[in-house]
Structures are given as C-alpha cells and as structure tokens.
Amino acid sequence: MSPSAPRPRILVTRAIFPEVAQRLSEHFEVESNLDDADWNADEIARRLQDKTGALTFGVERITAELLAQCPALKICANMTVGYNNFDLGAMSAAGVLATNAPDVLTETTADFGFALLMATARRVTESEHFLRAGKWTRWSYQMFSGAEVHGSTLGIIGMGRIGQAIARRGAFGFGMKVIYYNRSRLDGATETQCRATYVSKQELLQAADHVMLVVPYSAASHHTIGVAELALMKPSATLINIARGGIVDDAALAAALRDKRIAAAGLDVFEGEPRVHPDLLTVPNVVLTPHIASATAGTRRDMAMLAVDNLIGYLMHGKAVTPLNASGLQGRI
C-alpha cells in the first residue's frame, strides 16, 4: 500500500475492547458500533457500502445480496472460529476474503465444555434452584444423585482441535474411556495422544455415558442429533452441545428430556439463538448458558486481535493469517 494512498475504511459491527479499537485506528479509518446496537441486515449493508473491510462477530450474515451492495469490500474478519454466517461461495465470487479465529479459543472452550459436562452430570443447576427456593430442609441419600464422570465413557462427535482438547481432559484428568466419531479418522499418533478410539456414530451414541458435540455447523451437520439419535442413547446418558445451534434438534431434545429418555443435557448454543426453544425452559434436567464457551477476557481479546491481524495482514500486506477462501481469490489483491 502506497504511503500516500488513503487509509482503508473498516466497519466494526459490535462493541469491542478499547485496545482493539485503538490498534485498528492506527492503520485504518474506523467506524465502530460504540453503542453495541443490534444492526439489522439492511443497516449493516448500508454502513458497509463504502468500507474496504469489516470486523464481524459471527452473527452478521454476509450474503450475495449484501455483497452486491458493497463493491469496495475486500475482507470480512470474524473474531469467532465459526463462520456459518459467511456465504463463502458468494464471497469468493465477489472477491471478498473471509477469515476466522481458530486456535486462540481452543483450550478455553474445552475448559467450558468440561464445566458444562460436570454441571449437567452432577445436576448443579437443578440443585442450586432447589436450594435458592428454600426447599433444602434435610439430607437424604438419593438427593440429586447424578451421573459418574470419573471412569465413565465420553463420546465426542467432532474431533478437531477443541474435540481433541476435551478428549485429553477426559482421558488424563478423569480417567474416562474416550470414543469419538468424526468425518475422517485421526492419525494413529493423535489418537494415542488423546487416548481416543474411533467408532461409528451409532456405536458412540449407544455406548457413551456423556456425548459431547464439537462439530462445525453446515447443511450436512444440521440436526446431527435428532429423534433417531436420541433414541439410541442410554436413558442415563447426558448430551452436551458447545458446537453450534442447529446441530441438535432442540424440540426433539426437549421432548426426550421431558420424557426422561435421556438423563440430562447441557447447552451453550441453540437453534435461532438468542431465542431459546420454549420447551427447553420448562424441563429441569437441562443446563442452559448463553453461548459463552469462549468467554474469558483474555481469550475474547485474543480472538479480536487475531481478526485485527487478518485485516492488517490482508489490506496492508496482501496476506491474511487465517484465511478461509484464499484459494478462490488468487491474483485479486
């Protein structure tokens, strides 16, 4: 980029850490959503019309329709690892790079996945509500008996970075037998490092005491867990979803929880979030959290800084750090 050229214009679609905004302002002309307003698609398109880049947060739909209104746009940098808000085909056709933020949230998200598993298996939410309501007046041997975690069987669907980090926690920290199902089997060395055994999806659902979902969302993974899959699980099993909304059929899950066809569930993500299926709010045997698996200050800051690295790398030097569709954009910058 020539020193005399005008600085690229960037849109930050939600409120962000001050130090992240400051770093962006050192390189770009920045329009920020300081009020953290919920801009709709038309508002985002209007504000992007004269922008070269955007720092997005995983919820803004970048579609062919929007891209047609934003001829100057060259890059959208998600600060999330997920990117199902991006139409990658349309972005490539329009010459717009997509980037995400992998790796920096792996361990934090795996920590939370295990926290959600523990809270679900040991009925933490149910028992806290019971206590807060003043119902705890005596001890009894069966009060809030939950499921064993140590030494139980952990089934992981989706064995990428986060799935592997969860497997290591289960195997080495809790002495769990770890089985997994993935689109493709891991190499032997990685399986050994995770003490994990590859099985079919059906075998996993039938054998696991705790099923953990860590699979990316796509049309192919929509309702990975539905009525048929829930029917395969043990009545004593728990289901944990830290992946994406839509991986689980939330209505079918609520019915299975209500009928005690599985013991409990822990959910950090939901279909149509932030809306939560109303039936999930009526069953006691579910732990619900508002998409916070990566929510530590350090991790969220690192995610945002990686998005900034992608914007600076691509717009200033022609190379992003974590591109998603670079192969479709050869020669465009």
Query: What is the average pLDDT score of the chain?
Result: 95
Which of 14, 169, 210, 291 is flagged as catalytic?
A: 291
State pLDDT tens for residues 220-254.
999 999 999 999 999 999 999 999 999 999 999 99
- Whether residue 232 sits in one domain with residue 112: yes
- Whether residue 118 sits in one domain with residue 255: yes
- Whether residue 320 sits in one domain with residue 277: no
- Gap between the Cα atoms of 171 and 36, Å rounded: 41
Judge residue 279's burial from the number of C-beta atoms within 10 Å of its C-beta, 0-12 exposed, 13-18 middle, 19 or more buried. Answer: middle
Distance (Å) of CA 136 to CA 122, 125, 127: 17, 14, 9
Burial profile 215-226: b = 16 or more Cβ within 10 angstroms, e = fewer: bbbeeebeebbe
Whether residue 313 is contained in a domain is answered as yes
Told to judge if 271 belongs to the known catalytic residues of this protein, a careful annotator would answer no
With beta carbons less than 8 A apart as the criterion, state whether 191 and 220 touch. Answer: no
pTM summary value: 0.90
Average pLDDT over residues 302-318: 96
Query: Coil, strand or helix: which one is 120?
Result: helix
Quote the number of domains for the chain: 2
Whether residue 70 is contained in a domain is answered as yes
Average pLDDT over residues 259-286: 96
- Whether residue 249 sits in one domain with residue 274: yes
Whether residue 17 is contained in a domain is answered as yes
State pLDDT tens for residues 20-65.
999 999 999 999 999 999 999 999 999 999 999 999 998 899 999 9
Tokens of 57: 């947060």
Whether residue 321 is contained in a domain is answered as yes
In Å, how far from its chain's centre is CA 51?
27
Whether residue 278 is contained in a domain is answered as yes
- Whether residue 96 sits in one domain with residue 111: no
- Whether residue 115 sits in one domain with residue 51: no
List alpha helices for 169-213, DSSP H: 174, 188-194, 201-207
Whether residue 2 is contained in a domain is answered as no
Position 333 scores a pLDDT of 46
Told to judge if 244 belongs to the known catalytic residues of this protein, a careful annotator would answer yes
- Whether residue 52 sits in one domain with residue 89: yes
- Whether residue 265 sits in one domain with residue 165: yes
Position 197 scores a pLDDT of 98
Whether residue 257 is contained in a domain is answered as yes
Average pLDDT over residues 143-163: 97
Whether residue 29 is contained in a domain is answered as yes
- Whether residue 284 sits in one domain with residue 274: yes
Strand residue runs (E) in 94-203: 97-99, 153-157, 177-181, 196-198
Task: Supply the CATH number for residue 21's domain.
Answer: 3.40.50.720
- Whether residue 132 sits in one domain with residue 91: no
State pLDDT tens for residues 311-323.
999 999 999 999 9
Which of 14, 122, 210, 244 is flagged as catalytic?
A: 244
Q: Is the predicted pLDDT of residue 3 greater than 80, yes or no?
A: no
What is the domain range of residue 170? Answer: 106-288
Told to judge if 291 belongs to the known catalytic residues of this protein, a careful annotator would answer yes
- Whether residue 100 sits in one domain with residue 19: yes
- Whether residue 219 sits in one domain with residue 157: yes
